[in-house]
Structure 1
């Protein structure tokens, strides 16, 4: 209790001293946990950019609402049209768009952005350029994307690439390392009015096209290092909007101010145990590339205990070897459970027996299992520092792994170090999360697309299959439900048999908010979109625009 009070006092002090002098309506949020803020607003950055860069500084062309059948909410674009043959898609910008410095935002900026990421492939963190034959200007407000192959879902991919101003970025010699400390951008909150390692403020874009609907003047981001610090700030009432795992939330947060302290959790990200198949540890790599090892490990993990203890019962167990689980039940292939379901169920004895059968025995009598060739197997289970629910999940997983004779230890680097390791594949074992989508095509392509290796942490295992890639192409190229179902059924069976990741549970979308200073929040009674303030959720810009200050 004393620790919580101290954290609350510390958080309150940071939040109080951070108050901007002239802003009338200031929204205080926590969208990332870090020990210090580094001034970086590069929208292409996957490891060092601040989490308020995408969506709030660089607005998407369109936001697709996964909670409402992928309904498009048009932002910079006023429309798009997919060709009948699915070989091109045309976006039309709103009239009169401007960058935050007052320069016109036109089709030329879109053309420049796509030429730019083709010139600097490291910027293309969604591998969209490899799907395009060309990008052509139709007129000052209209751009046509010509595709290499038919793709009924290409709009969802294109809108994930931020558009940058040609008159700023054309002169940047090294855009990969460019910190973009004073961004010129398109979103509602572009002006960095204060920046310190402990807090920064991001205020309204004077030329934002939708300013009439924006009632928030500034965002304030206090530096909070971990879940307990976020909880302290929430309980104290200083945060308006946060995304964090909060243990026993009804007692630790809601009970402090039942009238104003609210939350809404919906099943979302798949959390899975992942092993790098390109790990620099040669001995670990031998085990991780063996499907029998992965299957045995999956059976040794007690998912329900992880959900009940580490997750306080919030998550939903996902033992589906295909990874889809209940979230995508309408797409599920029942043959997955019939053929491979046993590998997603907790069966400690069967898991141990499979390790024995596959040759993972203690060859040198040191008390730990070795690889079938006798080489030592030492596992570094990595999880970001401060992510307390994941740390607890790893510790629970390690208990049965160690009981089974595996030599496994935990390491807790900073989140940025962890992210970089997952992108490169230079790690041993970890937990990873993948955001949900309206269609299972997206989690599959984001996880197993070899074009994304070295660009995205979502491909951390560095596993791919030519057959899966081929079937995913067939799926996106067809409008016919029967054709798409056949392809998706086959994909699930391939994934379930190979088990490249070990699904554990679907984490809820953690969304906490305070109605004392602002109204207009999405909730279970009004589930208009996902309101989570995470940088993985483009719909957060919709929530920002719906907020209204409470009259004081």
Structure 2
């Protein structure tokens, strides 16, 4: 394995007879995701094996909305956007002078091509964009996207469409399975200089439009399969930027190099148990579609133990009936707490009683209840292998469920299969995380909007409610905050009432860093943006551009 250093010496062949010169490269070692082996898939739309560094680093967004700065737009491939008067269309002005990594110009037509590609291949439309827009038109450097209805928040999804170059993608026969092994990108790091299943090196775009602010030459990514292996890598002192659960972090990480090792854990995604309401198992399906069974399941969750024992106190307890979370408490509907809060608190006796009152009883004498019709209930709870904090949380969940007479087992597939199972619906119960946004709407929309079912693992409950869809649509059909708050109260009322998922805690944003080789890191004293390196947080581009190598 290549040793991680800030400056890798690269011999550059000189002209005939001239001595070779030595060029210093600033190589940053990062760990954005856990995997047993890397697959050379650089297609931003092929999520089955896509590398987590394709988005943002290889393909840059049009705009980044900086969540820690109240949604402030940070313009990237677009230099501005404007709405029409009634919020039914947005126009992006594409930045002048941007080139693809092969030197071809990046234009508004590439944006048009990409959106039309999603329209022609709905399986690529990961955020169901074409269910909410009616047209995309180009006029010079301007791209205008017309909506089906007024929407002041759809832009947050639009900028998650990563634009691909028309000149290299127009002849791709099947863009859903295309692995894009010779990528042409727009972001800061587009060149794959080394690739093996155990390590790859993603290096700077020779034609990057913002090269003046890029001081990192290459990102090196070692293969790491789980939290235990992360601890091994940490002891070597090779990781510059990563995000992982480390037990007793002051001892296991900071204590190894107190002068350089540090961390910052801002509040992050909601963690839930998804009971798949469309599971193929008939007995489980009957139970999961019974509100009282879901409520009993919820009351069997020892959330505080998950936070304190499994999470070493890093996560934040989430007992909101809707899963709203402490970060969005200013939006909280207190009426929902009063009416449904009992079902989001640990209470084994109440869970047993609710099951009994609802007709669940142990017919076979094995200690586990059956459905009122006598059909068997028994399921695996899937959690990625190596995610030790989540594995321990699931073990605590299994213990609680066992005590109330529900048969549940732990299952630990690899992260990729787990993701696909949640998305496709080929599972019974899974632990999952739901990303947050500028407002709580993003989280609820991602997890519960009907059009997202089957498109993303975030919607893994496979729940559908037209009334809720209408409210989610309506939230951004106005820019009036009072009206938005009224709608958000109604959204929480439905989610608290229906309990489509069982929220247990909120993850922190996992973020550790070393100042030994690079400076400029975001932290509590320098809270520029969300600091993490893993996918789904486009602010990581801003972080990369803030870093400077330490001069040896």
Please indicate the TM-score interval, normalised by the length of the shorter structure: over 0.9
Answer yes or no: is the 8 Å Cα contact 1:14–1:198 preserved in 2. Answer: no
SS of match in other structure, 1:405: coil
The structural deviation recorded for 1:18 is: 13
Which runs of 5 or more structure 2 residues have no equivalent in the other structure? Answer: 11-23
> Deviation of residue 138 (structure 1)?
1.4
1:138 paired residue number = 139
Distance in 2 of aligned mates of 1:309 and 1:366: 29
Mapping for residues 109-258 of structure 1, pairs under 5 Å: 109-139=110-140, 141-258=141-258
Match of 1:310 in 2: 310
Whole-angstrom CA distance in 2 between matches of 1:145 and 1:248: 49
Which residue does 1:9 correspond to in 2? none
Find the aligned partners of 2:59 and 2:68 in 1 and give their Cα distance: 23
Contact 1:382-1:410 at 8 Å conserved across structures: yes
Match of 1:7 in 2: none
Q: Would you say 1:363 and 2:363 are equivalent positions?
A: yes
- How far does residue 325 in structure 1 lie from its aligned partner after superposition? 2.1
Q: Secondary structure at the residue paired with 1:394? A: helix
Cα distance, 1:454 vs structure 2: 1.4
Q: Note if contact 2:6-2:549 (Cα within 8 Å) is conserved in structure 1.
A: no
Matched residues, number = 539
1:12-411 aligned at under 5 Å gives the runs 13=1, 15=3, 22=10, 24-139=25-140, 141-411=141-411
Shift of 1:21: 5.8
Tell me, in whole angstroms, the C-alpha distance in 2 between the residues paired with 1:190 and 1:28.
16
Whole-angstrom distance in 2 between the partners of 1:237 and 1:454:
40
Q: Give the structure-2-normalised TM-score.
A: 0.96
Q: Cα distance 1:15–1:127, how it changes in 2: closer, same or farther (>3 A)?
A: farther
**Given that residues 46 and 178 in structure 2 are in contact (C-alpha distance below 8 angstroms), is that contact kept between their aligned partners in structure 1?**
no
Aligned-partner Cα distance in 2 for 1:405–1:14:
52
Deviates more, 1:282-291 or 1:50-59: 282-291
Q: Tell me, which stretches of 5 or more residues in structure 1 are unaligned?
A: 1-12
Partners of 1:310 and 1:428 lie apart in 2 by 23
Rounded to whole Å, the distance in 2 between the matches of 1:420 and 1:353 is 36
Give me the whole-angstrom Cα distance separating, in 2, the residues matched to 1:213 and 1:391: 40
Deviations 1:278-306 (A, max 9, x none): 11111111111111001011111110011
Coordinate RMSD, CA, aligned: 1.3
CA contact (8 A) 2:6 2:28 kept: no
Secondary structure of the equivalent of 2:200? strand
Whole-angstrom CA distance in 2 between matches of 1:362 and 1:21 = 69
Helix, strand or coil for the counterpart of 1:377? coil
Deviations 1:225-269 (A, max 9, x none): 111111221232100000111111000000000010010001111
Shift in Å, 1:307:
0.5
Q: Aligned residue for 2:13?
A: none
Give the whole-Å Cα distance in 2 for the aligned partners of 1:16 and 1:488.
48
- Secondary structure at the counterpart of residue 24 of structure 1: strand
Give the SS at the match of 1:477: coil
TM-score, normalization by structure 1: 0.96
How far apart in 2 are the matches of 1:347 and 1:15? Answer: 51
| Counterpart-to-counterpart distance in 2, 1:468 and 1:313 | 34
